[in-house]
Structure 1
Amino acid sequence: MIFKQLFQPKWQHKDAQVRLQAIQKLADSSILEQVAAKDIDTDVRKHALEKLNTLASWDKAMRHDSDVKLQKLALEKVKLMLFNQGVDLSQNDKEQYLAKCNHMPLLEDYARRGDDHNLRVQVIKRLDKASLNYDLAIRDNNEEVALICAQSIADSKQLEKIAQKAKHSKVKSWASEKLAELKAAAEKPAKIRKDASLLLSKLLALKDKTDYLQVKSTGEALLQQWQLVSTELTCLPEEEQLTLTNKFAQISDKFQSSLAQLEVEYNKAQQAEAALAQQQQIQQQVQQAIQTIQDKVANAIANEGDAELDDIVKLISDAKSLLSQDHIGGRVTEQLFNQLNGIEQNAAHLPEFAEQVALATRAVTQLNQWTLPQEIGDFDQAQEQFDSWFDDWKKLRKSMLFDLPVELNESSQTLINEWKNGLKSFSSQQNSAIKQLKGQMRELDRLIKSGRYNVALGLFRKISEGIDGLTSKSYSKIEREHQRLNEEINELEGWKSYIGLPRKRELVAEMDALVAQPMQDVHERAKQIKLARHTWRLLGNTDSEENSQLNEAFDIVVEKAFAPCREKFAELEAQRAANLAARNQLVDDAKAAKQAFENNGDYAELAKALTRLQNAWNKAGSVERSEYAKVSQAFFDIIRPLRARINTFHNDNAQQKKSLIEQAQECAQSEDLNQASEKLKALQQQWKNIGFAGANTENKLWGQFRAINDTVFNKKQADYQAEKDKQQVAFESIKSELDTIAGELDGATLELCYSKLEQVKAVSVEQCSPGQAKRLHKQINQLIDSCQKRIADLKQNVEQQNLQNWLVSLEGYVNSGTVDEAALNQLPSLLVNAIELAQNSPATGDASEQRRDLAIRMEIIAGIEPPVQDANRKMEIQVQLLSEKLNDGETPSGIQLLHDWLSLGPVQAQDKALFERVTKALLAM
């Protein structure tokens, strides 16, 4: 036993300090790994791990060590190794470790802070965590990593933020391009559907067109466009693709059929058009030939010979031959044939045509010798002479065998036009005078019928003066009507007194009746009196005593009838004077308003004052016309400049507000709604600070400005609601996940609890609102506590079960003094070490006493009352425990105490009863 104890390894010593010292000298990694994994003392395991300082050992401790602090230390050590701090780790080891590691927080930490960009990319892709990718795309210092993270994001909202906030311009550019692609992809089905439908509609519409060339070119272009669009139909549902393809096939067949029919019609039309062009060309050539023939005829006449007769006949024959090539025919062709036949017949009568030319020449010479009339008295004779000559001229022209020679034709036409224009001026003058006289005679007839004889007599005298300016031929056109009216006027002279006196008596009676009536309307009565005076004057006077009496009576009665009017007009005059004073006061008020504006510059107050003054001016009564002109000018000389200044002020304000509208439209086009809304709020404040722009303009501009604001803020509200809904979905999803984990904790194994704990720690709440994130963080912390408590309980249960198993094995050892190999392998190294120490130690007399003290110590720690006979020793040991607690700060563990109990040497018979107490105390701890 002594020799066995002597050669026992110190790393298996029962004293932890001894083991610690032994570890410092150990170089065997397998032993260090055993100690790091199985030693019951945390410090010993920690030092063994530090001695090993390998990624595998730290990783194992991080995942399986029972001490939470040592787990955290192991996690930090693993991080340091992965980040090449303190230990050089090969690239291959890093790759293999990161490929197998399931510790999500560690992987995420490496993804954020790792120094190997390729490994970081591998880890990022393995994690495939949206929030991590989003964060790194914006903040990561490495452009390549940031770009790869950005490329894994498909959410448009996140891409918008990346395009705005990313650290690298390349990432921003990619995000902007991706957003454009997503937008185009989202809009593509609708665009393709619209383009396809539009193409089909256009192709279908071509069947109703009749222009073959246009239909053909347009149709070919549409078919080519369809080939391009058809390759994009794959973005539509299969059923819709099939529908559009079938429609195209049907419409294409209809188009091809219609095009074939149009082609036939087009070819026919082209042939007809070619034939018509040929006909027009033939007709033009024949007309030129006829002109050539006419010229040759003129030359033959001028040379007084028939030397060119053969040429003329040949030209006629050639023209007929050419005209016979016209297979269409028609009126023009027939006329040309007739004209050629006529020329051919007349060609044999050139001497006769020469005589006709001579007659035409003498007629033109005769007209040229006559003189155009210079006075109205010569007009009738000149007109008659020209009309006779012109009739003879037309007959001569009609009988001509050929057209007149060009020079003679031009000179005759010029001379005829001169005579027509010269006679036209006199003719127009006479016609105008006749028209005026006819109108006057109609008016004279109306005056006679209405009894206005004096006016009729005056008008008749004017008509007589107008007739003096007419020629005899012109007068003959109105002679009968003039004579009839002359007879009626002569009759009027005899009936004047007979008709006038009775009418005057009636007027006096009417005025007497008017005097008896109460005056209702002063202006109406004044009008009646004025009309009566006018009628009286029209009736004229006769040389009779009764006429004088009626004139005197009429003057008296008219004065009586007008007396109330005079009084009323006096009242109105006074009222007009008062109105004038009121208007003058308005002029003074306008001056005061102008002065007030000059002092304070308040456009709003000025506008109110001008409106009030204008309304008061409009309501003010009438004044004398002469006075009104003065006061009106004074008033508006003040008002108009002020109103112009207001209009200028309103126009300036309108221009400023239009500028704000343009700025608002630019804001509305921005994709950053938050920035756009802030700018719009600033523009709204500027709008408030700008003055009024006029009633109509203000309302119109405000409507435009408000519509733009409403559009942006409604869109922002929609985006806010969409973001809120997205946050709610994320919140509910995370909460559901957490609730599920919480439900799975009951009955979960230790390994599952560790997995769930890592799962809970890996939960990200970035997509939730701050309030939701706060609630979730609270739930996450509670769930972490629950997981840790469950892990602690499970560990305790495992330790308790292990302890029971160990105690069962040790019970056999205590009773028999031996332990089989299988039981020994199940015991922890610390207890195996204790048994080896016991077997290698001699039996001592105080061993049992020491074991009793250790049993009492265990009972005190477990809260079990020792037997009565040990009461005094209990008090002493309690004092020792208290002192150790105060000095060392820690209480030995039950396993350590069991180790100490077993290592005191071979178990004696009296120790077996103590082991029962030890078992009970350990199970109660």
Structure 2
Amino acid sequence: MIFSRIFTPSHQSPKPEKRIQAIESLSPVKAQEKTILHELAFNDEDSNVSLAALEKLNSFVLWLKMSQIAKQTRVKKTAEKKVNEALVGEGDLSLSSQEKFSFLTETASADLVVQMLPQMLSKDPALLSDDSLAKALIEKVDKPSFTQYVFLEGASAGLQTQLINAQDKISELQKLAKKVSDSELLAQIDTRVAAIKDAQRRPVELKKQLTLVLSKYQALLDKSDVQFIDEKQREFDSELTGLFAQLDLLTQDERAEYDEKRTRISEQVERYLQRIRPAWEEKQQAAQLANTKALCEQQLTYANEQVSWLYNNRLCEATLADVATVNESVRGVEATLEQLSRMESENSNEKRIAEIKREVDGLNDQLERFSMQQQYGQKLLIKLQTLEDIAAKIVDASQNDVNEDSASEGLAAESNNVASLNGAFIEARNDYQVLSRELATIPKALMKRFNAATKRVNANERAKKSKESEQVKHVRKQISVIDNLIGQGKFRVAIAKFAKLDESYHALPSNAKKQVEKRFVKTAEEVSHLEGWQDYLAAPRKPALVEEAKALASTQADNIKARSEAIKYLRKQWLSLTPSSTSNGSDDGEDAALQQQFDEALEKAFEPCREHYAKLDEQRAQAREKRMSIIATVKAIDINTPESELVKVFDKAAKQWHSAGQVEREIYEPLKQEWKAVSSPIQSKIQQWQSGNQAQKRALVAQAQQLATEDDVHSAADKSQGLQAQWKQIGHAGKREESKLWAEFKAANDAVFERLKAERKVQSNAFNAQVDELLSKVDNIDIKSDSAAFDEIVSEINEQLRDLPKPQRSKVERKLEALEAKRVSLAKSAQSQARVQKAQALSSLLLLNVGEGGTAREGDEETLLETVGRRWSSLLRQSDGNASCQHDRQWLTVALEVATDMPSPAADASIRSSVQLQMMTAKLEQGQAATAPDILADWLSFDVLCEKDKHLAQRVVAVIDAYPEVVA
């Protein structure tokens, strides 16, 4: 003992300096000295000694342990620094990959892993290439942010794929997608998001489909058509079988619920069918009987029409096939009549059946007599043809009548021929009428032809008589005019008109001449007496003509053509006057003087005309030069110019040629021949080109006309637009053909588009009617109905919307969206109101428990507890003073005020600061702080409320009144 006190080892010296010196002499290799170093490192009270021992041992494990258990701040910080340096590969400690793996997965805390991993990766980027390490760290930390960090900073491609496929939150995948630039990873993320959405959507869609089909299935109970119900039942059973194969997407309770609904509805429909089937079948039998009656009547009407058609339209040319077809229609009536007789009961309408049988017997009798009637009809047709031939000859003979005097013998022969033809026509007509009496019914076509031939002959006779009457009337009028002229002393005019009268008289038929013969002979004798007075009339007329010529010369020539015509007329009248019958010298001299005066006056009158014609000659010369220039221009045209350009240039030159003005005929003809010579090659090329264009456009017209008969009008319209595009690519087809072809092409296209327009209008009307029906359904939806009924109706409407075009569909969708928005608004309003009621109820309970119930009575407590709900009522009832919360009710009150941003009393300022600090720390360490509902729950469950908690309860009530959502 004494020696031990005298010779105390230096590492046990009370002086830290001595212990540090002793540490320098100790070796960690020796077991005993290593133990001493351990003792000094972990148990020595001096931080310098502990650090010196740890430095001597220089073990990562010991540094790590000291960083965890050290009580001295300096030692702890130094140990943490050593550990961190070792992990990142700095300092004098080095760790193997296995040691790092073990440390990170077994020893290091989650926070340390989060803290150190970025530093380790900066020194060793391949650290996370080990999938087992990365997975272990992700599992250990178990935070989305860390998982995302590993994914982005070093995870292998395989691990990235695993992490993407393991993620089931779309928000996390979307965050990840924003930070990823690799297209393959983005595609994987998109695929996973789509898979999650699909997995979320499929149960909802399945439930919607099941609800819709079951609703339709149950709706069969409102139908009365058994056949329709049977068909729909099979259809719905098939649909439900397919849908029930996907029931594994639903929960067990949902599967059981839908299975029960299916069984129940199926049984209801079966019972309903058993109940209504007998009455329905009886009704069907009655309907079948009515249909058979209607069919029999319809077939009888058709058979009558067929027999009538055979007699009226096909009597002469009917074939065995025609007769067989008509006979088949009668056989159809008999078959239906037999079926009707079997279906009719004893008390049925036998009278009508007997009437139909008699009508059918009558039809059969007509068919039996048809062969004989056809023979009579063919004979009648021969008679009719003979009658028509005679009528045609009568008309032709009347049109070829010879009305000239030189052919009087021919006239007599022709008249005899017409008379004989009229007799033959009457005989043929009588034969036709006698034979027609043998026919039960004369075909309308034969009757029409007979009437037409008769009308032609009658009309010809009337026309002949009318023509003779007009001729006689005309001759009488001429005779009256001549007689009046003679009576007025206008002898020369009367003599001139008699020549025309003579022609008209001799053109009359012989029997018509007799009607005016006496008057004509009398007038002819009077005119012959007047011809001897012609010379006498000429003498006073010539001086008058001279005066007219002088008067014409003295007037201004406003109209050259009229002046020229007047001069010609005066000259013609002068020449028509013969010299008087006297032949003495004085009269000859007088005629010569009159002739000279007449000639001078006409010459003076013609001077303006001569000037006008001189100007016309000048214009003709200019027109000649212009035409020669146009010919030269056409000669210079390159014949190899493209036809589309060539036709424009030539058309311009041709228009200039036609508008070039008049030239003399003897000059125009050579110019015309030269124009034809130079333009002919160009015209030939243009015509050949236009002929090709015509052929192409005719083909397009034929195609367009064919489109008008196509059943698919939409396809026809598309093809029509294609044809129009082709039309534009083809050149001009010539002035005449172009407009004609375009009119035909346009008419054919218009027909297609009119059909398309009509079809679209019909379709649009149908869509609009469907939209109106759907809008009416939307208007009738009860916005306050339960969710199942509301969703069912909306699903049904959406199902019907799929077949509508987008514009019509949008109208209904907007109304549905507005309805759903209104429903959501009502739901939110109801939720908000319920939340306020719950908050008010909780406030009343709190005040009631602390002795301040206000208007609330203690008997209302159960009602208030029921209003606040199970959670809050249970918290109030469980407030037994055994709360596990580490804070008292005052602290929780302040915390509730902090969470809701409500003010606290000044006396609780220190508590409020503490609360805010703890909340901030929790948010930083755990990622979230306590919520107001959680704090309120702790407050209620802390202890039984009593009167001493009144002031705290009032503060809590103030929070609840300000923020009712706290009690949500």
When normalised by structure 2's length, the TM-score is 0.37
Structure with bigger RCO (C-alpha 8 Å, 6+ apart): 1
